[in-house]
Amino acid sequence: MDEAPPLIVTVALDAAAFDRLQALRRRHFPPARNLIPAHLTLFHKLPGESAAEVVRTLGALVRRTTPFAFDPQRMGLRFLGRGVAIEMPSRELDALRRTLADGWQDWLTPQDRHGFRPHVTIQNKVDASESRALFDALTASFTPFDASATGLLLWRYLGGPWEAAGHFPFTAETKNQDAEAPREAAADQIPLRHPTS
């Protein structure tokens, strides 16, 4: 029997922030390697055979979580050596990930055990000179922007491409019911196939 594909957990972003980051990724990521949409990863590799437990845990967590904003005052660019990322800091996200990591400690790979620095990669796997040029160009014009986390997304890793395996909107009661709008918009992020033009 084939082994179940590993699982990945990412953050669902509001539609405007996702569109902005997706446009940057399409513009700067090598097209032949750009197999997945812009994403903010919480966990890179959870055991696929434990999918039912992962789904239960995520479902319980989002029912007591409200959408929350990232901190634009701490947002910035990160040079990756062969790529560039946008840092997306949030104290709420740090706490949420810590809660999940504590429960999944036995499953975590070394990559997921190390410090968590939330970011969205918009370029990777290019020559260092190309990534440095992009980092310098973006640094000269970068302006922090509003972005919100609206839920969690679960994916199956298929050796390159990802397959959508679940969307978990944050559904806890909020004082401001306008939070409904970004939750609904986040569902549009699920399809992995996107235009290559």
The average pLDDT across 116-135 equals 96
**What is the tens place of the pLDDT at every residue in 33-52?**
999 999 999 999 999 999 99
Ordered DSSP codes for the chain: -PPPPPEEEEEEE-HHHHHHHHHHHHHHS-GGG--S----EEEEEE-GGGHHHHHHHHHHHHTT---EE--GGG-EEEE-SS-EEEE---HHHHHHHHHHHHHTGGG--HHHHSPP--EEEEE-SS-HHHHHHHHHHHHHH------EEEEEEEEEE-SSSEEEEEEEE--S--S-GGGHHHHHHHGGG--------
Name the pLDDT band for 2 (thresholds 50, 70, 90): low
**What is the tens place of the pLDDT at every residue in 157-170?**
999 999 999 999 99
pLDDT of 194 > 70? The answer is: no
